[in-house]
Structures are given as structure tokens and as C-alpha cells.
């Protein structure tokens, strides 16, 4: 074969091979596209199916909770109740801070939570002054506020949820006068900078003043207990006993923390059987003292009820929904819509029907220091 003819043949063969290759490539492209399209369709359907539960559990809103302290049994328990209650609202998450009874620290913590973009704030104020400042700052930044347990004064707070401290004071004082209608009383009140301490004192005096006016009751003295602590209660009770000794018939202590310190001082003087001692909050140590006979009563405030309404109100507040309430409490700026659960006087006679029945504390824990043959039937 001549070179020219051979070259021509090679060129023809190369062109044929290129055409076959192009034909194969063109055939594969639709096949790949079809496979790709099918994969995308399946993937989108799977994604849509997977996204439905994810969206249901997606956190869209954040509730911030500012506690003045978490060093008391009550607040630790109510935090647990709040977190449990919020499980009913999967689109919400909860973050919290505790200020260790430091007003400046609480303000800084709230400022930080607000700057992080919380949608609503539940505020347990350290004192009236910082509560006002925090609410004002929150409102300036478009964050609604629920004052929880402690009212925020002279500010545009949205809602207030609390057991009535006036009623709590009335409850402990009424219990005392029912048991000791005449005699010498000594008052141990909460932290003077706290609105709740003032309200509790007001409630006590609503009951005691008529007895004082009639001469049946003499108030030997009254002390404010910084931080509502056992240490303050102990120091003030020791001072009262040093001055009045066994002249004291009743000590109306405003909470179980104060009562803890007061009980230590009273027991050290051997006067537990003589002095009637009150308290508030239903703390385990107080319940133990009640069934043992060294504290007469406590004002039981079911924290799960307050936590429940607190979360319900806070969620509606964030979502812009109406909160139905027929109670309003003036804070010096406006009549604040309020939710006020009931409180109960608890002593050894109804411990089983209240604290134990509600599973606030376990039976074995409350009666652990009581001989088994002296315990009530379960």
C-alpha cells in the first residue's frame, strides 16, 4: 500500500474512533443526569421527612432566669421545676444565672443575657433597687420581664408571679396567736433591703397589731436578718436571748433559714420546749424540726405551682399572648398583672396531708430522726 493511501486510512480510523468515543460520552451524560435527578428527589423527600421533627424540637426562643441566689434549697428546687415545666414547650430553651446575693453581679449578669439575645427574662431580684434597674434596661432593649417572687418597684415590669408575702406573714402570725394568744413576742424579719421582707412584716403586723393594742401581746423586739440567712438568725436570736432570756414566748421568724439559726440559739439555752418558733418555705430541715418538736410551723409554698405558672406566663409573654388574671399589684409605677398561688400553714398535725402528700419531701427524710414507733402511719 502506498504511503498516501495508508495515511488516509489511519486518518479515517482515528476519526471513526473519535466519533465512537463522543457517542459514548453523549450517552453517559443523560444517564448520569437521570441518576443525579433521582438522587436529589429522594434526598429532598428524606430531608423534608427528617426536618419535620427537627423543626418541632428546634429552639426558637430563649428564656433567661436571673436568681438572686441558688444557695437556698428553695431556689434549687424551683429551678428544677422550671426546667421540667419548660419541656412542654420544645421551641423554648432556658438559661440561668445566680448572683450570689450580689446586686451588682445580678445587674451585670442580666445585662449579659440581654446582650446575648434572650427573648424574655424571669427575674428574682436581689433587692428593689437592682430590680428596677434591670427591668428598665430590659425594656430599653425590647425584652419583656416577669418579676418572680420579688416585685420590681417603680418600673414597667410586665407581670408578677409570687406567693403573697403579706399572706405568708399573716399565716405565720395567725398560727402563733392561735397557739399563744397572749405573751411576749420577738420578730425576726428578712433582709430589710428586700421588698418581700417588708411585705412579710406588714402581714405579721396585720394580725399582731390588734393584740398589741389590746395589751395581750408585747413585742419585745424586732430585727432584720441580712440575706435571710441562718447566720443572721443565729446572731440576732442570741442577742435577743441575752437581753430577754426565757421571757420570750414566741419568735416569729420570717423564713426557715432564719429559723434554723434561731433554733440553734434557742436550743443552746434549753428553751425549745418553751418558745414557739415559726418559719416559711417548707425546707427539709424545718420539717424535720417540726416533727421533732423544735419548730412549731412553716409556711408551705408549693414551689412547683409557682414554677408552673411562672413558665406559663413567661412563654405567653414572649409569644405576645394574653395572660388571664384578675389580680393586680401596684408597684409604684402601675398595676401589674399578678398570679398569686395559695400558701399553707404546716405543723406536725398536717405534715402528712401537705408536705408528704405532695411529695415535697420524702417521708423517710422528714421523719428520719423520729423513732419508728412514734411516726405516723403512711
> Tell me: the pLDDT tens digits for 100-122?
999 999 999 999 999 999 999 99
Kindly tell me if the per-residue pLDDT of 28 is higher than 70: no
Domain identity same for 159 and 171: no
CA atoms of 147 and 138, how far apart (whole Å): 12
* pLDDT tens column, 152-196: 999 999 999 999 999 999 999 999 999 999 999 999 999 998 889
Q: Could you tell me the CATH number of the domain that includes residue 241?
A: 3.40.50.2300
Domain identity same for 228 and 122: no
Kindly tell me if the per-residue pLDDT of 249 is higher than 80: yes
For residues 334 and 106, the answer to whether their CB atoms sit within 8 Å is no
Cell reading at 287: 420539717
* pLDDT tens column, 222-234: 999 999 999 999 9
CA atoms of 190 and 128, how far apart (whole Å): 14
Q: How many CA within 13 A on the CB side of residue 28?
A: 6
Domain identity same for 88 and 181: no
* pLDDT tens column, 304-359: 999 999 999 999 999 999 998 989 999 999 999 999 999 999 999 999 999 999 99
Contacts of 305 (CB under 8 A, 6+ apart): 341
The pLDDT of residue 326 is 85
The pLDDT of residue 163 is 95
Kindly tell me if the per-residue pLDDT of 206 is higher than 60: yes
User: What single string gives the DSSP state of each residue in 159-214?
Assistant: EEE---HHHHHHHHHHHHHHH-SSEEEEEEE--TTSHHHHHHHHHHHHHHHHHHHH
Domain identity same for 65 and 154: yes
More confident position, 43 or 153: 153
- Give the DSSP H/E element, type plus range, for residue 324: none
Residues paired with 219 in a beta bridge:
185
Kindly tell me if the per-residue pLDDT of 34 is higher than 60: no
Contacts of 366 (CB under 8 A, 6+ apart): 284, 287, 288, 291, 351, 355, 356
Residue at 134 is within a domain:
yes
Place of cell 440553734: 264
For residues 317 and 158, the answer to whether their CB atoms sit within 8 Å is yes
For residues 333 and 155, the answer to whether their CB atoms sit within 8 Å is yes
Domain identity same for 169 and 291: yes
Residue at 30 is within a domain:
no
CA atoms of 154 and 47, how far apart (whole Å): 51
* pLDDT tens column, 282-308: 999 999 999 999 999 999 999 999 999
The pLDDT of residue 31 is 33
The pLDDT of residue 55 is 53
Sheet of 327-330, strand order: 92-98, 61-67, 120-123, 145-148, 159-161, 335-339, 327-330
Residue at 22 is within a domain:
no
- Of 9-18, 58-67, 80-89, 306-315, the poorest mean pLDDT is in 9-18
Nearest to 149 by CA among 137, 160, 134: 160
Question: Which of the four pLDDT bands, split at 50, 70 and 90, describes residue 12?
Answer: very low
Place of cell 403573697: 164
Cα 15 → chain centroid: 83
Domain identity same for 83 and 93: yes
Residue at 233 is within a domain:
yes
Residue at 44 is within a domain:
no
Kindly tell me if the per-residue pLDDT of 198 is higher than 90: yes
Q: Exposed, middle or buried, 236 (CB in 10 Å: 0-12/13-18/19+)?
A: buried
Residue at 17 is within a domain:
no
More confident position, 294 or 5: 294
The pLDDT of residue 74 is 87
The pLDDT of residue 10 is 37
The pLDDT of residue 15 is 38
Question: Which of the four pLDDT bands, split at 50, 70 and 90, describes residue 57?
Answer: low
Question: Which of the four pLDDT bands, split at 50, 70 and 90, describes residue 72?
Answer: confident
The vertex-70 CA angle with 337 and 298, nearest 5°, equals 70
State how many domains the chain has. 2
Kindly tell me if the per-residue pLDDT of 125 is higher than 90: yes
Residue at 153 is within a domain:
yes
Domain identity same for 113 and 233: no
The pLDDT of residue 263 is 98
Domain that holds residue 219: 165-300+348-374
Residue at 280 is within a domain:
yes
More confident position, 316 or 33: 316
Amino acid at each position: 500500500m502506498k504511503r498516501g493511501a495508508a495515511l488516509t486510512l489511519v486518518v479515517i480510523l482515528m476519526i471513526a474512533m473519535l466519533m465512537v468515543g463522543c457517542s459514548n460520552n453523549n450517552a453517559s451524560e443523560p444517564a448520569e443526569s437521570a441518576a443525579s435527578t433521582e438522587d436529589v428527589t429522594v434526598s429532598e423527600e428524606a430531608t423534608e421527612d427528617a426536618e419535620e421533627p427537627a423543626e418541632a424540637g428546634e429552639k426558637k426562643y430563649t428564656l433567661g432566669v436571673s436568681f438572686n441566689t441558688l444557695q437556698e434549697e428553695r431556689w434549687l428546687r424551683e429551678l428544677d421545676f422550671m426546667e421540667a415545666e419548660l419541656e412542654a414547650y420544645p421551641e423554648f430553651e432556658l438559661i440561668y444565672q445566680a448572683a450570689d446575693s450580689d446586686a451588682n453581679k445580678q445587674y451585670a449578669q442580666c445585662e449579659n443575657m440581654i446582650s446575648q439575645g434572650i427573648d424574655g427574662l424571669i427575674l428574682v431580684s436581689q433587692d428593689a433597687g437592682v430590680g428596677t434597674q434591670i427591668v428598665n434596661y430590659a425594656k430599653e432593649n425590647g425584652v419583656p420581664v416577669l418579676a418572680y417572687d420579688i416585685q420590681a418597684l417603680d418600673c414597667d415590669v410586665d407581670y408578677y408571679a409570687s406567693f403573697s408575702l403579706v399572706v405568708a406573714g399573716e399565716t405565720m402570725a395567725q398560727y402563733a396567736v392561735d397557739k399563744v394568744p397572749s405573751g411576749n413576742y420577738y420578730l425576726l424579719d428578712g433582709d430589710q433591703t428586700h421588698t418581700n421582707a417588708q411585705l412579710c412584716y406588714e402581714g405579721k403586723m396585720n394580725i399582731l397589731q390588734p393584740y398589741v393594742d389590746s395589751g395581750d401581746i408585747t413585742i419585745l423586739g424586732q430585727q432584720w436578718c441580712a440575706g435571710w440567712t441562718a447566720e443572721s438568725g443565729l446572731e440576732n436570736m442570741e442577742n435577743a436571748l441575752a437581753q430577754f432570756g426565757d421571757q420570750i414566748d414566741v419568735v416569729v421568724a420570717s423564713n426557715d433559714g432564719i429559723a434554723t439559726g434561731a433554733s440553734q440559739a434557742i436550743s443552746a439555752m434549753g428553751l425549745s420546749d418553751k418558745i414557739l418558733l415559726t418559719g416559711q418555705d417548707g425546707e427539709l430541715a424545718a420539717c424535720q424540726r417540726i416533727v421533732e418538736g423544735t419548730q412549731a410551723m412553716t409556711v408551705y409554698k408549693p414551689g412547683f405551682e409557682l414554677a408552673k405558672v411562672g413558665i406559663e406566663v413567661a412563654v405567653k409573654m414572649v409569644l405576645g399572648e394574653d395572660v388571664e388574671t384578675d389580680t393586680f399589684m401596684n408597684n409604684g409605677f402601675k398595676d401589674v398583672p399578678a398570679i398569686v398561688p395559695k400558701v399553707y400553714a404546716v405543723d406536725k398535725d398536717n405534715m402528712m396531708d401537705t408536705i408528704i402528700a405532695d411529695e415535697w419531701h420524702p417521708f423517710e427524710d422528714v421523719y428520719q430522726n423520729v423513732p419508728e414507733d412514734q411516726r405516723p402511719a403512711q
